[in-house]
Structure 1
Amino acid sequence: MSAARLSVVTAVAVVAALAAVSGCSEKTDAKASDAIQVTATDDSCKVSKTSFPAGHVKFAFENKGSKVNELYVYAPGDKIVTERENIGPGTKADISAELKAGDYEVTCKPGMKGDGLRTKVSVTGAGAPKKNDPRLDTAVAEYRKWAQSEADATIPKVKVFTDAVIKGDIEGAKAAFAPSRTGWESTEPIAESFGDIDPKTDTREDGLEPGQKWTGWHKLEKSLWATKAISADDKVLAAQLLTDLTGWQKRVGTAEITPTSMANGAKELLDEVATGKITGEEDRYSHTDLSDFKSNVDGAQKAYELLKPVASQNNPELAKELDKQFAAINTLLAKYRTGDTFVSYDTVNAAQRKELSDGVNALAEPLSKLAAAVAK
């Protein structure tokens, strides 16, 4: 949700406030000797090295500004190699990645908006990664297979939704909206890595860049729940949504996936929950946020479960804590399930939202250490 995730200032403030209340400032284990230091303010992004060897790279990010920030590493064409969202003012975060030789841009996004403040870096050497534990190779292969199956299962559900819109069936489209999104939400880091699909399909109105036409799920969501009418343009947008998502389905198998990108992607999915679902910003018209919330958690848990054999060997206490926190957040979400779906998020009161936020924060902190555990 790279464009959709560019939340309004209000949402960012809410997230920062919740984080402060819950004490979820992220600890960093990176050392100056083995990490690229990235220091951000509201108007600067300083990178300690602009040339470094290929292979496993650790970025130690510190946000010295007053705004929530993000770190991206882009390959040419704005292909996202790794990212970390929701890094609050005065906090730090470690981000690990496997980088091949080539040119990249290290990017800070103060306020989580726009193209960000970019620094060109050069990664040198043959780019051959260290030999993986065979269990990690299996994890990557299984994750790729799972992500493809999620994409394949999504398209028929999207077609039910878009067919209803094209027929002018408002109630049918409403019923199909949340189910059409589950596979996308569970695998969203892969979709975001392509750069161009997410802005077309999953952008919220306040996340639009200058000159960008609003298309995708949330434009149709507004028509169904707020405008309560389906226009001729909506029918065109529905057909385009199916086309765009079919393109995503066909590209999933080409995504570059590494053990660290799986681990970072799991953390990104928790950041998605914090910046969109907890605040109610994501599905603000339909209030189907909890369905997306569960899909994000499921996607993060899938990546963790596949990496767990290595993570539990390298850091057994971390694995124990992750098992505990995934169980806790799933138990908490189950309280809001009604049949095959979830209660409307506008019926979840402030105290309950705070409880959900605390659960997300309790999981996000150990999950941020998963990449380091599998990269040892």
Structure 2
Amino acid sequence: MFALAGCVPNNASTTDAAAAITVDSSATDCTVSAGTATSGTLKFSVTNSGDQVTEFYLLAEDGLRIVGEVENVGPGISRDLVVQAQPGDYFTVCKPGMVGDGIGRSSFTVTGDKVQLAGDVQEQVDQAAVNYVAYVKDQVGQLVTGTQAFVDAFVSDTPSPDGKTAAELYATTRANYERIEPVAESFGDLDPAIDFREADVPAEDEWTGWHRIEKDLFPPTADENGGTEYVPLTAEERTYYADKLVSDTQLLYDAVNDPDYTVSIDAIANGAIGLLEEVASGKITGEEEIWSHTDLWDFQANLEGAKVAYEGVRDIVETKDPDLVKTLDERFASLQDTLAEYGSLNSGFTYYDELTTDQVKQLADGVNALSEPLSQLTATLVG
């Protein structure tokens, strides 16, 4: 049901046959002239009536994967987004300022018959890479604003503007990072600075990032802390670690928004595989969130990130190995159904230390069942 997409200039002849759907991106809303369309070539004509540079996205049914996007639309400027849209359910959203989670998110439905994707395989590969980069930039943009709200609550020890404390914001804010963690790992020292667990840090190195703050938000007992009573951070130390997390997150944002940043098709597939390995190595063992026990929040985000990466190349893989695609579709759905038995990112999950041995085994079996066929993705894609 998903499509590959592209952004084109306003006067491109390839869009002449497409009936334009107008989009008004203002400071407060994202007004789309139609909520339905027929499958095939669609053109969204995006006008920025606000006072900030904006972006427009067509998102897949999960609200995460970017089917198409047009960015850097200045105030008073119009640009077009052209997509080959398959039947299915989508979302539209605008992002004034190009950070955060956007405004005016609305449902968009495509009806009709499945259509043949335009372009040869190489063009589809190239567009899959463009769409995945857009997804990464979107997740990191949301992480920037979410992290700032989180550390503001952490430093002040008062609820954020939406009434949530730092402890309440911790797991959900991290989801944007966990969905694209292999990307952060590709930038050398950024992942260690942002996301290393205490046990991962060499004795001579400084421990910073999310898990340093986690330990202060969810302080361990002396028995949990190697027999030593945990000493809470001072106000100055909280500010230091908060500022460091914000700074390192900004470095990640700058890296993925560099004009030269791109990803290869094998990196997308390997990213999906790597995210399932993250689940197997940290979440299933309960070692990732050793103080907060919010491992299932990370598990969900890793699974979502892996599925987004997979679905971005799914149509290409299906032409080479339809049986593999069928198996992956089924096992992604099965693992998601199992995880959903314990909650969701919106409603919260069961804390990991509250799971029984049998429940942990059930989750591990689901991860293993998906990991085996997923490990074949890269070889199938590039072979």
**Structure 2 match to 1:249:** 253
**Structure 2 match to 1:91:** none
Of structures 1 and 2, the one scoring higher in RCO (CA 8 A, sep 6+) is 1
How much does 1:230 deviate?
4.1
Give the number of equivalent residue pairs: 246
Of the candidates 354, 359, 362, which is equivalent to residue 361 of structure 2? 354
Q: Does residue 378 of structure 2 align to residue 371 of structure 1?
A: yes
Taking the aligned partners of 2:126 and 2:231, their CA distance within structure 1 comes to 49
Of the candidates 150, 153, 166, which is equivalent to residue 142 of structure 2? 153
Taking the aligned partners of 2:203 and 2:216, their CA distance within structure 1 comes to 22
**Structure 1 match to 2:169:** 176
SS of equivalent residue, structure 2 residue 373: helix
Taking the aligned partners of 1:230 and 1:218, their CA distance within structure 2 comes to 13
Q: Does residue 333 of structure 2 align to residue 327 of structure 1?
A: yes
- Give RMSD over aligned pairs: 1.7
Taking the aligned partners of 1:228 and 1:209, their CA distance within structure 2 comes to 21
Matched-pair contact (CA < 8 Å) for 1:135–1:310: yes
Taking the aligned partners of 1:208 and 1:150, their CA distance within structure 2 comes to 26
Of the candidates 282, 307, 312, which is equivalent to residue 306 of structure 1? 312
Q: Does residue 191 of structure 2 align to residue 198 of structure 1?
A: yes
Of the candidates 159, 165, 173, which is equivalent to residue 154 of structure 2? 165
Of the candidates 260, 266, 271, which is equivalent to residue 260 of structure 1? 266
What letter matches 2:340 in structure 1? A
Matched-pair contact (CA < 8 Å) for 1:165–1:230: no
Of the candidates 197, 204, 225, which is equivalent to residue 218 of structure 2? 225
Taking the aligned partners of 1:267 and 1:248, their CA distance within structure 2 comes to 21
Taking the aligned partners of 1:163 and 1:228, their CA distance within structure 2 comes to 21
1:52-67, aligned counterparts within 5 Å? none
Taking the aligned partners of 2:257 and 2:217, their CA distance within structure 1 comes to 33
**Structure 2 match to 1:77:** none
What letter matches 1:189 in structure 2? P
Greater fraction helix: 1
**Structure 2 match to 1:209:** 202
What letter matches 1:328 in structure 2? S
Matched-pair contact (CA < 8 Å) for 2:276–2:302: yes
SS of equivalent residue, structure 1 residue 143: helix
Q: Does residue 147 of structure 2 align to residue 143 of structure 1?
A: no
**Structure 2 match to 1:288:** 294
How much does 1:210 deviate?
3.6
Matched-pair contact (CA < 8 Å) for 1:224–1:230: no
What letter matches 2:248 in structure 1? D
What letter matches 2:188 in structure 1? G
SS of equivalent residue, structure 1 residue 133: helix
Please tell me whether Structure 1 or Structure 2 has the larger radius of gyration of its CA atoms.
Answer: 2
Taking the aligned partners of 1:186 and 1:143, their CA distance within structure 2 comes to 12
SS of equivalent residue, structure 2 residue 165: helix
Report the TM-score, using the length of structure 2 for normalisation: 0.62
Identity %: 37
Taking the aligned partners of 2:241 and 2:311, their CA distance within structure 1 comes to 37
**Structure 1 match to 2:117:** none
Taking the aligned partners of 1:235 and 1:349, their CA distance within structure 2 comes to 38
What letter matches 2:243 in structure 1? A
Taking the aligned partners of 1:302 and 1:354, their CA distance within structure 2 comes to 25
Taking the aligned partners of 2:359 and 2:158, their CA distance within structure 1 comes to 34
Structure 2: where are the runs of 5+ without partners? Answer: 1-119, 220-229
Taking the aligned partners of 1:159 and 1:206, their CA distance within structure 2 comes to 26
**Structure 2 match to 1:56:** none
Cα 1:239–1:361 shift into 2, 3 Å: same
Matched-pair contact (CA < 8 Å) for 2:130–2:262: no
How much does 1:175 deviate?
0.6
Report the TM-score, using the length of structure 1 for normalisation: 0.63
Taking the aligned partners of 1:282 and 1:196, their CA distance within structure 2 comes to 19
Taking the aligned partners of 2:326 and 2:182, their CA distance within structure 1 comes to 25
Q: Does residue 235 of structure 2 align to residue 235 of structure 1?
A: no
What letter matches 1:209 in structure 2? P
How much does 1:168 deviate?
2.7
Taking the aligned partners of 1:293 and 1:252, their CA distance within structure 2 comes to 23
Matched-pair contact (CA < 8 Å) for 2:133–2:262: no
How much does 1:132 deviate?
5.9
| Offset from partner CA, 1:182-203 (integer Å, 9 cap, x none) | 1110001111101110111101
SS of equivalent residue, structure 1 residue 214: coil
| Offset from partner CA, 1:269-308 (integer Å, 9 cap, x none) | 0000011100110001111111110110101000110100
Matched-pair contact (CA < 8 Å) for 1:150–1:184: yes
